[in-house]
């Protein structure tokens, strides 16, 4: 028997492979299911295929709005899979056992299923975004009572599945998950991928469970262990070096005791007299010439005079003409000018000479 994930893959392949131009619905279903051995799996795939074809307009509207409202977390390559889950949720959930529906959901990626079933089982979203487009295909009473009303009626049955999928997709622990939901979330992959059995279900008896319930697998709690880190070697602290505190004095200058106190006083008196004489001479020189004022060193002092002098010098330079001396006129009477005749002048002179002869 096939697992639920494999069974769902067969349903997707059957829906994708149908081409109404080439085959009819019955011939395509018979050709696709001819190699199936289990009758319940065969009926399940066939009913899923017939339902998706029958309600394809309804499901296309749902898929289009679903992708528009959930661009993140969805993949358009999974369009047929979303269509199959939408068909089961809207039309066949009353006939399908909740346990089988849970295993179908758990056989797929939790992130994809979380986005899909959270949108399907939110009646406010259906009324706000899908009710009006669906009313263009079906009567409003059928939409309100059967489609959206069926979602409200089955919400309590699938609430545990919604919480389990949310916890697996987002990693957040659900506070009000029931004991049965908590035990289902801990099942192993082989248990959540159960097979389709022969018991119960009005959907062609294809949704029954096989055998006894799967036993719960106990998860092993991770025990933290310390890291085996390499212990660093102790650092060797060097011994402090002994500092030498020996003080060395400079030797006494040899000329220290050569001068007496009287010699020092005489030198001081000579230096004082020399300083006094230098100051007296400086004052005598200042009385002979006027002291310089700091205001005279300003750049603006005498600016008018300097500018006036510069302009006058410029005008004087412009008025001084340095022309070239002309050469003397040559005296043309002293010698005849050398005239070079052209060919035409020579011919004219020869013609005039012939006429004169």
pLDDT at 98 over 60: yes
Q: What is the share, in percent, of the chain residues with pLDDT greater than 70? A: 86
pLDDT number for residue 312: 92
- Let me know the angle formed at the C-alpha of 136 by 153 and 151, rounded to the nearest 5 degrees: 10
Q: List pLDDT tens digits, range 121-153.
A: 988 989 989 889 999 999 989 999 999 998 999
- Mean pLDDT, to the nearest integer, of 21-40? 87
Confidence of residue 36 (pLDDT cuts 50, 70, 90): confident
Confidence of residue 311 (pLDDT cuts 50, 70, 90): very high
Judge whether 19 and 53 are in contact, CB under 8 Å.
Answer: no
- Mean pLDDT, to the nearest integer, of 50-74? 89
In the chain the first and final C-alpha atoms are separated, in Å, by 150
Judge whether 1 and 211 are in contact, CB under 8 Å.
Answer: no
Least confident of 143-157, 184-198, 303-317: 184-198
Q: Specify the DSSP element, H or E, that contains 267.
A: helix 261-288
Sequence-ordered list of residues with C-beta below 8 angstroms from that of 126, at least 6 positions apart, any chain: 120, 147, 148, 151
pLDDT number for residue 242: 83
- Mean pLDDT, to the nearest integer, of 166-193? 51
- Measured between alpha carbons, how far is 101 from 97 in angstroms, rounded to an integer? 6
pLDDT number for residue 277: 94
Judge whether 145 and 139 are in contact, CB under 8 Å.
Answer: no
pLDDT number for residue 306: 86
Confidence of residue 195 (pLDDT cuts 50, 70, 90): low
Judge whether 69 and 176 are in contact, CB under 8 Å.
Answer: no
- Mean pLDDT, to the nearest integer, of 285-299? 75
Backbone dihedral angles phi then psi of residue 3, each to the nearest 5 degrees: -75, 165
pLDDT at 337 over 90: no
Q: Specify the DSSP element, H or E, that contains 51.
A: helix 39-54
CA distances from 205 to 43, 44, 54, 209, 214 (A): 8, 8, 20, 10, 20
Least confident of 53-57, 77-81, 109-113, 302-306: 302-306
- Measured between alpha carbons, how far is 252 from 309 in angstroms, rounded to an integer? 70
H-state helical runs in 88-221: 98-106, 110-120, 123-125, 131-135, 140-142, 149-170, 179-185, 189-192
pLDDT at 56 over 60: yes
pLDDT number for residue 196: 57
pLDDT number for residue 344: 92
Q: What is the DSSP letter of 34?
A: T
Q: List pLDDT tens digits, range 225-279.
A: 888 888 888 888 888 888 888 888 888 888 777 888 888 899 999 999 999 999 9
Least confident of 65-79, 253-267, 314-328: 314-328
DSSP string, 177-236: --HHHHHHHT--HHHHT-BEESS--TTTTTTEE-SSPPPPPPPPPPPP----PPPPPPPP
Judge whether 122 and 181 are in contact, CB under 8 Å.
Answer: no
- Mean pLDDT, to the nearest integer, of 185-195? 43
**Which of these, 314, 41, 25, lies nearest to 201 by C-alpha position?**
41
Q: Which two tokens stand for residue 210?
A: 């096989």
pLDDT number for residue 322: 66
Q: Which two tokens stand for residue 37?
A: 């051995």
Beta bridge partners of 196: 209
Long-range contacts of 66-74 (CB under 8 A, 24+ apart): 66/116, 66/119, 69/119, 69/125, 69/129, 70/115, 70/119, 73/111, 73/112, 73/114, 73/115, 74/112, 74/115, 74/116
Judge whether 87 and 121 are in contact, CB under 8 Å.
Answer: no
Taking all residues of the chain, what is their mean pLDDT, rounded to a whole number?
A: 81
- Mean pLDDT, to the nearest integer, of 88-96? 88
């Amino acid at each position: 028997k096939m697992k639920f994930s494999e069974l769902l893959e067969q349903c997707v392949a059957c829906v994708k492979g149908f081409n109404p131009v080439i085959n009819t619905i019955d011939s395509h279903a018979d050709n696709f299911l001819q190699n199936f051995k289990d009758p319940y799996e065969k009926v399940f795939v066939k009913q899923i295929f017939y339902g998706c074809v029958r309600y394809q307009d309804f499901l296309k509207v749902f898929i289009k709005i679903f992708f528009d409202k959930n661009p993140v977390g969805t993949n358009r390559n999974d369009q047929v899979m979303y269509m199959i889950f939408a068909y089961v949720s809207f039309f066949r959930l009353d006939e399908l056992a909740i346990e089988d529906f849970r295993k179908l959901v758990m056989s797929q990626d939790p992130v994809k299923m979380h986005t899909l079933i959270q949108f399907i089982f939110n009646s406010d979203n259906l009324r706000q975004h899908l009710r009006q487009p669906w009313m263009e295909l079906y009567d409003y009473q059928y939409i309100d009572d059967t489609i959206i009303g069926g979602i409200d009626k089955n919400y309590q049955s699938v609430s545990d599945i919604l919480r389990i999928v949310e916890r697996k997709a987002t990693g957040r622990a659900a506070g009000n998950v029931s004991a049965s939901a908590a035990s289902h979330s801990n099942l192993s992959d082989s248990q959540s991928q159960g097979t389709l059995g022969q018991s119960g279900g009005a959907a062609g008896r294809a949704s029954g469970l096989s055998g006894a319930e799967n036993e719960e697998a106990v998860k092993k709690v991770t025990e933290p262990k310390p890291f085996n880190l390499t212990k660093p070697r102790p650092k060797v602290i060097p011994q402090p070096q002994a500092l030498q505190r020996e003080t060395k004095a400079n030797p006494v200058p040899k000329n220290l005791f050569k001068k007496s106190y009287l010699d020092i006083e005489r030198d001081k008196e000579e230096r004082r007299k020399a300083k006094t004489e230098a100051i007296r001479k400086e004052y005598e020189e200042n009385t002979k010439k006027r002291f310089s004022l700091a205001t005279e060193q300003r750049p603006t002092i005498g600016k008018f005079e300097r500018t006036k002098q510069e302009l006058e010098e410029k005008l004087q330079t412009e008025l001084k003409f340095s022309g070239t001396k002309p050469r003397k006129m040559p005296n043309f009477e002293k010698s005849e000018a050398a005239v070079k005749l052209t060919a035409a002048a020579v011919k004219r002179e020869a013609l005039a000479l012939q006429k004169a002869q």
